[in-house]
Amino acid sequence: MSERTAVEPVQACPIAPVVDLVFSRWTTPILWTLNEYGRQRFVELERRIGVITPKVLTQRLRQLERDGLVQRTYFPEVPPRVEYEITDLGRSLAPLFHSLAEWSPNLAKVEESRAHYDTHEPPHRRP
């Protein structure tokens, strides 16, 4: 047969797995809070994040625990106490978060672009 594809399909970009791990829903605020405020209890996390429900917070914490980014410690007291802490592996994401934060000022340009896009005639688009 002839050369079929001048363009070879690329399954996924190489950073996709990391993105899935670190930037799936709720993981960023959780990790950021744990990194910022240190070891804390379930209810503290819940309050700091503000809008998350306990069900979802539990789900995410379990996932992060399984992934080795968060350490869970149980104290058999009454009332029960559980503390969550970011691990060394989790902390190794700090430079990444730092990069994110450093890019933040560019959000202003994004806002500009959106405003321009929304107020001008679009380039050619189908009727």
Partner DNA sequence: CTGTATCCCAAGGGATACTG
Partner DNA sequence: CAGTATCCCTTGGGATACAG
Q: Is 10 in the site for a copy of itself (CB under 8 A)?
A: yes
Q: Alpha-carbon Rg of the chain, whole angstroms?
A: 21
The size of the interface with a copy of itself (CB under 8 A), counted in residues, is 58
By CB under 8 A, what part of segment 47-86 binds a copy of itself? 47-51, 65-69, 72-74, 76
Q: Is 81 in the site for DNA (CB under 7 A)?
A: yes
**Residue among 56 and 100 whose Cβ is closer to DNA:** 56
Q: How many CB atoms lie within 10 A of CB 114?
A: 10
By CB under 7 A, what part of segment 11-70 binds DNA? 24-26, 41-44, 51-56, 58-59, 61-62
Taking alpha carbons only, the member of 45, 48, 49, 53 closest to residue 82 is: 45
The total number of residues written for the chain in this structure: 127
From 39, 54, 56, 89, residue interacting with a copy of itself (rule: CB under 8 A): 89
- In the shown chain, the binding pattern of residues 91 to 120 toward a copy of itself, with x for contact by CB under 8 A and - for none, equals -xx-xxx-xxx-xx-xx-xx-xxx--xx--
Bond preceding residue 79 cis, omega within 30 of 0: yes
DSSP-based three-state secondary structure for 84? strand
